[in-house]
Homo-oligomer: A and B are copies of this chain.
Amino acid sequence: MKNDTKNAPIGVFDSGIGGLTVAKELIKTLPGEDIIYLGDTARVPYGTKSGRTVIAYSRSNTEFLISKGIKLLVVACNTASSVSIPSLKAEFDIPVLGVIEPGAKKAVEVTHKNKIGVIGTPSTINSGAYTKAIENLNPDIEVISKPCPLFVPLADEGWVEGEIVERVAEEYLNPIKNSGIDVLVLGCTHYPLLKNTIQKIVGEEITLVDSAQETASQIKQILVNKDLLNDSKTSSERNFYLTDVSDTFISVAGRFLGEKIDKIEMVDIVGTTAQPSL
């Protein structure tokens, strides 16, 4: 029974394809684990929607992944992590990890000035989730946060370097850069794609914390602690599901994962309106 659980896959969901940056780090950190990824592309983005709606979507995503027999759930979406983790933990009987806590923990370890910057989608920033997580760890730390809504469409468009993205980054980051922070948390799964540009604009003296990397390390720790590491093999299976499949998603997905995706399956968990008539 224990072996069955050890061999079970890790479930990862995101509002879309951004969470593939978390899947990428998971694959690097835990090459022997099977992964099932669900991108809720029919309802993307979550970042501008209400907490109530995001929680409802997170629950249906989790139900789908649980039906696939996962041993651990990663909420690889900052927006969903910031509002839905408590209700998912209460409702489902497997370990649940979001991306906020690992990012916050790393930032607290790294800061010397006790002044941390956080960037993310409007809904992640408005939720105050990073601020709360950081203050829980160390109430003496000051958190300065800033929503950067154009970073996601820029990453989707593939405009991750060059004049346009640099001008946008300056507009968003100049105020936060000059506020005395020494650490900046990339609080959105899309932002690792803009890492070089963000680093260029804020300067080398500010350390960037990538929540995706920190989440992967923390998952490894959880699996070790619970004796759930899949030690039976060295190669692994990866399955990718989307709730809506369009050319845009498929062409962008490979860039986010950092490797070619052979097969994406479409799954209809949205079920809102039965079958369309065409």
A interface with B by C-beta (< 8 Å)? 41-44, 48-53, 55-57, 59-60, 84, 86-87, 90-91, 122-123, 126, 149-150, 152-154, 156-157, 159, 163-164, 167-168, 171, 244-249, 269-278
Contact = CB atoms under 8 A, between A and B. Distances in A.
Name which of A270, A273, A275 has the most chain B CB atoms within 10 A of its CB: A273
20 contacts: A41-B48, A48-B246, A48-B249, A50-B244, A51-B278, A52-B278, A53-B276, A55-B276, A57-B272, A59-B273, A60-B272, A60-B273, A84-B278, A86-B278, A149-B157, A150-B150, A152-B153, A163-B167, A164-B171, A272-B272
Nearest to A41: B49
A87 B277 contact: yes
Name which of A53, A150, A168, A244 has the most chain B CB atoms within 10 A of its CB: A53
A149 B246 CA distance: 15
A73 to B, nearest CB: 15
A59 B275 CA distance: 10
B244 A276 contact: no
Given A48-B248, A123-B246, A277 B167 contact: no
Contacts of A122: 248
Contacts of A272: 43, 56-57, 60, 269-272
A157 B150 CA distance: 8
This chain: how many copies in the complex?
2
A91 B53 CA distance: 29
A168 B245 CA distance: 27
A91 B273 CA distance: 14
A69 B189 CA distance: 43
Name which of A43, A91, A171 has the most chain B CB atoms within 10 A of its CB: A43
Given A44-B48, A59-B277, A269-B272, 12 more contacts: A49-B244, A50-B244, A53-B244, A55-B276, A56-B273, A57-B273, A60-B272, A123-B246, A123-B248, A149-B157, A150-B150, A271-B272
Contacts of A43: 42-43, 272
A84 B277 CA distance: 9
Nearest to A150: B153
A153 B37 CA distance: 27
- By Cβ-Cβ distance, the 9 closest A-B pairs, closest first, are A55-B276, A56-B276, A60-B273, A56-B273, A153-B153, A87-B278, A87-B277, A50-B246, A53-B244
